[in-house]
Amino acid sequence: MDSRWLLVFADTLLILHTMLVGFVILGLVATFAGYFCQWRWVRNFWFRLSHLIVIGVVVLQSWLGVLCPLTSWEMALRAKAGEAGYEGSFIQHWLQSILYYSAPDWVFSLAYTVFGALVLASWFVVRPER
């Protein structure tokens, strides 16, 4: 496969990954904002369940020390395209600087766990409706 296509696929995965991060963060913000603004949609069971599942997977991966499959797949595509690191396309460069930063692993595990606990707590504060 042409290395340009591999980079397009890697950039697409990076965009998807960024969207999932946005969903997790903005989903919690929207849930609590919706509680105060009385937005009915934030009580949608399927929205809330998918939100809880996504952050639950992130927390579990951090506890197990497992790298996110989206990150692994993206890195493999970049390596196969002959790219070393994250100096590639514009999209990749800017989204990467938002998503990836350096800190000890325990910091990420703690942050994911606290955030996951907040999402779980939101189930009791802003009860989902079927």
For residue 121, being part of any structural domain is answered with yes
How sure is the predictor about 97, in pLDDT bands with cuts at 50, 70 and 90? confident
Q: Which residues neighbour 15 within 8 Å (Cβ) at sequence distance 6 or greater? A: 91, 95
CA angle 54, 60, 61 (to 5 degrees): 90
- In one-letter notation, the amino acid at residue 86 is Y
- Tell me which residue range forms the domain holding 8: 3-125
- What region does 67 belong to: left with phi over 0, alpha with psi -120 to 50, or beta? beta
Query: Distance of CA 37 to CAs 29, 31, 34, 121, Å?
Result: 12, 10, 5, 18
Proportion of the chain above pLDDT 90, given as a percent: 54
pTM of the complete model beyond 0.85: no
For residue 76, being part of any structural domain is answered with yes
Structure tokens that stand for 42 in this block:
């934030």
Give the pLDDT score at 89.
46
Total count of domains within the chain: 1
For residue 130, being part of any structural domain is answered with no
Pairwise CA distance, residues 18 & 96, whole Å:
9
Give the pLDDT score at 1.
73
- Tens digits of residue pLDDT in 85-94: 555 444 555 5
How sure is the predictor about 75, in pLDDT bands with cuts at 50, 70 and 90? confident
Pairwise CA distance, residues 109 & 113, whole Å:
6
